[in-house]
């Protein structure tokens, strides 16, 4: 009876379970990348704000300076920090593009590897236990996100 149930499970239920794994794998990936992108973006924006504040401070010091050497020094600092602040805007764009490329690669990987997943990859279907023919395999890469050849 268990053997028949197991065959039916693999034939009927497993395709649905596999589709759920693909769906939730993608949802988890989206969630993680959303949080990571937000973290990096906020960090870079904070760095940009810091440089902008230093630029404004140097600008005010340059305006207030009476010594030509000191004025020149603060004007140089102002230009330096202003360019630094602007560069952070560009860094955000580059970071977002790179994270999007990585996310797409991982999305394809998750889709392919979970689509190829077989019930036998997760369960020991030849269990001798007549009350529990499904024994979850003890594995570190249950979704086969690493190739079996990688050691």
Q: What is the pLDDT of residue 66?
A: 92
Flag residues of the chain having pLDDT under 70. Answer: 1-3, 124-151
Residue 150 has a pLDDT of: 47
| pTM of the model as a whole | 0.63
Domain definitions of the chain by residue range: 2-136
Secondary structure of the chain in HEC code, one letter for each residue = CHHHHHHHHHHHHHHHHHHHHHHHHHHHHHHHHHHHHHHHHHHHHHHHHHHHHHHHHHHHHHHHCCCHHHHHHHHHHHHHHHHHHHHHHHHHHHHHHHHHHHHHHHHHHHHHHHHCCCHHHHEECCCCCCCCCCEECCCCCCCCCCCCCCC
| pLDDT tens-digit readout, 75-87 | 999 999 999 999 9
């Amino acid at each position: 009876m268990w053997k028949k149930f197991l065959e039916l499970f693999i034939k009927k239920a497993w395709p649905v379970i596999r589709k759920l794994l693909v769906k939730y794998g993608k949802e988890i990936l989206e969630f993680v990348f959303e949080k990571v992108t937000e973290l990096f973006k906020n960090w870079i924006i904070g760095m940009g704000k810091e440089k902008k504040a230093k630029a404004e401070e140097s600008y005010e010091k340059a305006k207030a300076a009476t010594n030509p050497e000191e004025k020149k020094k603060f004007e140089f600092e102002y230009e330096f920090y202003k360019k630094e602040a602007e560069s952070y805007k560009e860094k955000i764009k580059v970071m977002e593009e790179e994270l999007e490329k990585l996310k797409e690669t991982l999305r394809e990987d998750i889709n392919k590897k979970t689509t190829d997943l077989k019930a036998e990859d997760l369960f020991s279907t030849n269990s001798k236990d007549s009350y529990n023919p499904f024994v979850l395999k003890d594995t570190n890469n249950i979704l086969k996100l690493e190739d079996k050849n990688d050691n």
